[in-house]
Amino acid sequence: MPERGIFAAGTVMPVSAPPIPDGALLVEAGKISAVGPLEEIRRENPGVPVRNFAGSTIVPGAVNAHAHLGFRTKDAPPGGTFSGWLTKLIERLPEKEVWTAEAARDSAREAVEAGTTLMAESSPYGECLPQLAESGMAGTVFAEFFPGDYDGAEPGEVVEAIIVRVRAMNEGLPDRVHARVSVHSPYTVDPESSRIAARRTREMGWTLAYHLSESPEEVEFVREGTGGLADIFGSNAWGGVGVSPVRYAEGIELLAPETIAAHLATGVGEEEIEILARSGVAVAHCPRSNENLGCGVSPVPEMMRSGVRVGMGTDGLWSSPSMNLFEETMAAVRLHGFDGATGLRLATLEGARVLGAEHETGSLEPGKWADFAVVEDAPDGSDPELAMLEAAADGGVAATVAGGDVIYNRAYS
Ligand SMILES: [Zn+2]
């Protein structure tokens, strides 16, 4: 990538501003320094090389606010119910070790080829960090820890151990790739370890990933201490507290602006939405995974109306059919009746807000990283954003650029 370059297309959709016909971006040292009509940008920057994706649309890169890289489609456990699926997943963890790294590389590649430039990935002890780091995407790998793995240790010791490990993981990474901590879920991490992890990571200014209120079984576990999840873990030691998962999470101080809670697919009523809005927690919406695992429909429009930050997540290939965030977004558009502009915002700028990265990426504005996707087929019809999303969902991404680097280029190599 030359130090300065102009990227042009039939349409540029900045998201933060109306679409620009025959638009262009001026990119310098990986960042956007101007956005406008190609003619104007070229006139003001004579001699700067132009890469013209005529007949295509440039949009901000997709932001995947909740993903798992270490899975593959071909031998996914059957869906249907969450606890049935999770039982199979746990059974197969030992055999999966052999191919996790390869699956992570393939999943990351698939995401890049679908226009993704920023990803929040969660994996056990951050095992997929190498593959995210080498993918060219920016992002964060959230290391899930399981207190049961630390024989007899106190919650505080367990949390300190994972923090030390994650600090070390941050050494030597690309500038825009980070490792952080994830409290996996209300049913896998005890309340005291969860509370300490949330407090300690917040003190360090770290974001935190959490699975929350995903399945009917989780609601039953937290409320009653019974059901499929209590059976799997052979314990209901801290379940059965008589409240919803969201109330429980609030009680253990998990809900804060730094927390990215994935799913919120079931057990989320008016009271829960009020708690989410008040706490400032951000939400990753994974509608295809939720449908596949019998988890219900997340009340996304209601959360958005209450001011909750919501972005999109694909989850991983054992619960979801693809790593294509635009395809995930089309599922949300159909499910909730959104227009194309809302869908495009969810896939990009809203995802960046969820990850606390809205000042760096998520829209095409001067000062932000040059993170964008080139989608074939000029938009047409009454909803150009929707036509663009449909094309991107359907394999229409021809190139992906992250921090000014072309990390995927199908058509113009
Ligand atoms: Zn997940």
Q: Residue 96: CB partners within 8 Å, gap ≥ 6?
A: 70
pLDDT above 90 for 381: no
Of 36-45, 76-85, 385-394, the least confident? 76-85
Per residue in 208-248, pLDDT (tens digit) is 999 999 999 999 999 999 999 999 987 778 999 999 999 99
How far is the centre of ligand 1, averaged over its atoms, from the C-alpha of 83 (Å)? 14
How far, CA to CA in Å, does 283 sit from each of 21, 69, 82, 146, 218?
Answer: 33, 19, 20, 22, 17
Q: How far away, in angstroms, is 289 Cα from ligand 1 center? A: 9
Task: Say if residue 278's pLDDT is above 70.
Answer: yes
pLDDT of residue 401: 98
pLDDT tens digits for range 18-77: 999 999 999 999 999 999 999 999 999 999 999 999 899 999 999 999 999 999 998 899
Tell me the CA–centroid distance for residue 295 and ligand 1, in Å: 12
Across 132-143, average pLDDT: 98
Ligand 1 centroid to Cα of residue 317, in Å, is 10
Q: Which of 348, 382, 342 is nearest to 362 (CA)?
A: 348
Residue 412: the pLDDT is 58
pLDDT of residue 254: 98
**pLDDT, mean of residues 355-369:** 98
Q: Name the residue among 228, 142, 158 with its Cα closest to residue 187.
A: 228
Calculate how far, in angstroms, residue 189's C-alpha sits from the geometric centre of ligand 1. 15
Which stretches within 13-68 are classed as H helix?
Answer: 38-44
Q: What angle do CA 396, 6, 56 make, to 5 degrees?
A: 20
Task: For residue 123, report the distance from its CA to the centre of ligand 1, in Å.
Answer: 9
* CA 66 – ligand 1 centroid, Å: 6
Enumerate domains of the chain plus CATH numbers. Answer: 4-61+362-409 (2.30.40.10), 62-354 (3.20.20.140)
Environment of ion ligand 1 (residues, CB < 5 A): 315
* Phi-psi label, residue 342: left if phi above 0, alpha if psi -120 to 50, beta otherwise: alpha
